[in-house]
Structure 1
Amino acid sequence: MNVPASTAPQVPPQHEAGGPETPRTRPQSTRGADTRALTQVLFGQLKNLEPGTPEHDRVRGALIEANLPLVRYAAARFRSRNEPMEDVVQVGTIGLINAIDRFDPDRGVQFPTFAMPTVVGEIKRYFRDNVRTVHVPRRLHELWVQVNGATEDLTTAHGRSPTTAEIAERLRIGEDEVLACIEAGRSYHATSLEAAQEGDGLPGLLDRLGYEDPALAGVEHRDLVRHLLVQLPEREQRILMLRYYSNLTQSQISQELGVSQMHVSRLLARSFARLRSANRIEA
């Protein structure tokens, strides 16, 4: 869109010894000043025009075109997101248009200062709501768009969700490609493991996929017992193993070791006293 000569401020041409400056050779600070001056003049004209009139649309379009460098500057901050820069600039331009429609030049704020948060916010919202969380090949992404459209058309035509075979026949592709596209489409939105499932009233994926291992509660105690047992004499260790791991009675232990049952009872009592005194958890 070209800015009419009548709307642009008259900026005196600057000359150097080598000839007149061109927009490409003009210093960036000078270009920025020219853009700010032009923007100020255009906003001065815009506030006196009736919205929806051809003249209003013309001046508004000139404002958009004059400030597109601001959008490209904001979009460059998201270059590492692996999204086509043309798409990011297009989304940022929407933010620029919203800023132009809301800007009040009488408040004394420079338009770039006012517009930048709106442009950046629009781009961030785009990445949050629309960009896939897992990158997929461009061909698969483009095919997914076709699969999605065919699905909507077939659903309208048949009054039900179409089968994979029907979608494949409609697009003249293999069913495997349709399934791959459906799987790729899921990468557009990540679901929290703790999010409840909409519609079915079921708990979140975390509650359904995981379970509480009943043996977890005994892990610390088993580690503690192992640590305490090695502090006992070997004979007392064996008595405890026979009593609580082999489930022998005191009478059976006395026969196994060739000692009296009373002696086994005294050794067990002494072992318990030693274990309790060394128990760092109860202490």
Structure 2
Amino acid sequence: MSDQPRPTSGVPQPRPYRADEPAGGQQDPAGTPAPPAEPAPPAPAGSTGPEGVEDADRRRVRETTAALFRRLAQSPPHSTEHREARTRLIELNLPLVRYAAARFRNRAEPMEDIVQVGTIGLINAIDRFDPERGVQFPTFAVPTIIGEIKRYFRDSVWSMHVPRRLQEMWLQVSAATEELTGALGRSPTIAEIAVRLGIPREHVVECLEAGRAHTTVSLDSTVGGDEEGGRTLADRLSYEDAELGEVEHRDQVRHLLVQLPERERRIMMLRFFHNMTQSQISNELGISQMHVSRLLSRSLNRLRRVTLAELER
């Protein structure tokens, strides 16, 4: 989590979440007092316990939180009183972070890291919360905390730095590919995806290139249910020839293209980096489509030999 933001210095750090810790101030078998009861997940205002009486600890937390928000609103920003009220709000509502973080316990990330990210969400919720809107703070805070954690996972699963703009657009391209596949009954072309999203074709290609840096929902991962036959996102895109699979990792073969003659290098760039069909390339260069196909095959064979030679070194 080296490139992820951490809570501001001076902000109390939550203790690591323990899934087995007793609730409601009970004691564990060793007799060690458990932490105070945690606020429950968001619930409608005025909810009551099984006996018809609202849980005392929960009511205390709610009332104290409301009082602290009043202090926060009445004290000048950056004043000692304002800072103390804000810090106390964070401390009092850290159990909300542990509650939200527990939903992600099956992820590979350490729970302590997830809690740290969730704490950032809690701080954002405190800074944005408006008591005048009549919403209980947990109802507002928990979705904010969960959203922060989800953003962390979304960003951290990219194997190399990709601008946020491309990450978000890649998700739109993926969704459009799924929708068009269902609507058309076949794989959509790059042009059809571009029209659906109202963006240039070059942006679609750029997004697909960026998508190859994604390590969990990559172009090589399966999409859809069992009825889809385990097809990958790459399978959903219409390409005219099967040789595309030979240059799967384009970013890794760019340096190999300089070893090709100029015309073959241009054909490779048009085909695999500009996503032009063989027919479009033949029109662009004024040669037959069959000749384009032969040059592509020859270039791919040459690149394959060079790659194997590099691996044997």
TM-score range, shorter chain: 0.3 to 0.5
Task: Considering fraction of residues, name the structure with more helix.
Answer: 1
- When normalised by structure 1's length, the TM-score is 0.41
Larger Cα Rg: Structure 1 or Structure 2?
Answer: 1
